[in-house]
Structure 1
């Protein structure tokens, strides 16, 4: 494993000419009919392993949403980590979407559990609401283990503005304060050879104007960009999160890719073929939008 997360991720994007990530969000009721008949975890495991196989040639990374595994108890957690290993064996960068956050020794425990050891993903998502002392243990663990963190800054959900747009007396919004914190945490000590930090930011594609402003604040951060596809954002919206050179971001799509077999456009294809084709189209759409 290369020493620096951002360097590994950017190299993977360049190698595949694909600034995209597919999210594994397995819901039993949405699995292909043949897999819904199996025991829940068995169906999820088969589905996720097949998805990894068919998207691996087209994407730089996968984002595994831990909630869909945790709800199945110890067996689900074990499957989450097995999929981390399998995705890495396929040459994919693996992001654990765990959205952890706390302070002190609890944050240190979360960080060690998700960022240290052979089975840990390459990076995890972190909730920064506790402030810098809640995030620093994750940053320290990432730096020590050649891994990364993506801190929630401007999320893609519709109600995000109700809190994240709250403005102080100077006119500065809450999400801009969080961006300042992320930029400070991602200072020189965390920056790799390609000029980007292992401390990244989650910036929703559904807010392109804000993304352009945030790129100026966080010029060394890789943006993890949700919101494409099922949430309504286009490739042009996503492009707002990239640098002027077409770098510095990776766009995630989950439902629009992994459940593509439920889309009428792919109705005549086996489900695996539909997922693979959706991943290829997603990658091509984003590559064209950012000039790769």
Structure 2
């Protein structure tokens, strides 16, 4: 059961999309980008980069998605920069998806999911996770997410060439990717059936129009650069995170080809926005261009 004061992530995401459009911007402070911004590849440069991105985009796009690895590479001080940025971004109205791709079993998976608990010092709105110890290994994270009003995005059909070797493998007549999608769909039982009060009818009707029949808090990651959509998303009842737009080769036309117009898709752009920095106005303009194109 979701805590009484915890608005489920799926509902908060739908509201953010209605207000700001569906764009997710990845915060990926890799070495070459720091240098391109005229910054040093150290904690000071990392902090300056992150401060500017948060100033420019918090509350302006649907999701901010910091990639944990680019902070972890700077050690404990880098993680401290990430923690400060997450707190500041959420205070400014951003929804934060921590891109950490965690995956384990039992108490370890439960510990990873602590990022979703509101009392965590680096509490986030949602977390990316890996299901390849079996989708059931993620059940502890799903329970924590539901109890805390958080969300999960589960790797399902990624667009990196190596991904198909595992994701296309079959068991029981279904691909691994399809098993993942189906498992996530089962988590997306409508929130009001598991203890929440019924949503406001007018607000829910608006969300239905934008997101389909259900606004689930559990989504999957499906690449925007796939040649074809080879998983059935009909039973997902939640959002699709679609990385790969811009520098990775994906386009708005690819999104429409793969997903159509009736699905809750959150496209992700990183370099095509971040390359506009370090000027805050230029970062905002780059994000606004993508938002406008997605809404066209």
| TM tier relative to shorter chain | 0.7 to 0.9
Instruction: Give the secondary-structure state (helix, strand or coil) at the position aligned to 1:251.
Output: strand
Aligned residues: 273
1:188 positional shift: 3.6
1:35 positional shift: 4.3
Q: Does 1:279 align with 2:287?
A: yes
In the alignment, is the contact (CA less than 8 A) between 2:6 and 2:148 conserved in 1?
no
Could you tell me how far apart the structure 2 residues matched to 1:157 and 1:248 are? Answer: 22
Instruction: Give the secondary-structure state (helix, strand or coil) at the position aligned to 1:30.
Output: helix
In the alignment, is the contact (CA less than 8 A) between 2:181 and 2:233 conserved in 1?
no
Mean Cα deviation higher: 2-11 or 182-191: 182-191
Among 206, 212, 219, which residue is 2:225 paired with?
206
Alpha-carbon displacement from aligned partner over 1:10-37 (angstroms, at most 9, x marks no partner): 1011012x11011100013322556424
1:78 positional shift: 1.4
Aligned residue in 1 for 2:251: 234
Among 86, 96, 100, which residue is 1:98 paired with?
100
Under a length normalisation based on structure 2, what TM-score does the superposition of the two structures give?
A: 0.84
Instruction: Give the secondary-structure state (helix, strand or coil) at the position aligned to 1:130.
Output: coil
Alpha-carbon displacement from aligned partner over 1:176-228 (angstroms, at most 9, x marks no partner): 121111112223458884422111111111126317x433231x111111011
Could you tell me how far apart the structure 2 residues matched to 1:208 and 1:190 are? Answer: 37
Among 177, 180, 185, which residue is 1:178 paired with?
180
1:67 positional shift: 0.5
The answer for unaligned runs of 5 or more in structure 1 is: 262-269
Aligned residue in 2 for 1:217: 235
Seen in structure 2, the aligned counterparts of structure 1 residues 122 and 73 have a Cα distance that, compared at 3 Å, is same
Q: How does 1:124-163 map to 2 (within 5 A)?
A: 124-163=127-166
1:77 positional shift: 1.2
Could you tell me how far apart the structure 2 residues matched to 1:222 and 1:232 are? Answer: 22
Could you tell me how far apart the structure 1 residues matched to 2:100 and 2:273 are? Answer: 20
Instruction: Give the secondary-structure state (helix, strand or coil) at the position aligned to 1:3.
Output: coil
Aligned residue in 1 for 2:274: 258
Could you tell me how far apart the structure 1 residues matched to 2:147 and 2:260 are? Answer: 27
The answer for unaligned runs of 5 or more in structure 2 is: 205-213
Could you tell me how far apart the structure 1 residues matched to 2:286 and 2:191 are? Answer: 39
Instruction: Give the secondary-structure state (helix, strand or coil) at the position aligned to 2:241.
Output: strand
Q: RMSD value over aligned CA atoms? A: 2.4
Aligned residue in 2 for 1:77: 79
In the alignment, is the contact (CA less than 8 A) between 1:101 and 1:128 conserved in 2?
yes
Could you tell me how far apart the structure 1 residues matched to 2:10 and 2:227 are? Answer: 23
Seen in structure 2, the aligned counterparts of structure 1 residues 104 and 146 have a Cα distance that, compared at 3 Å, is same
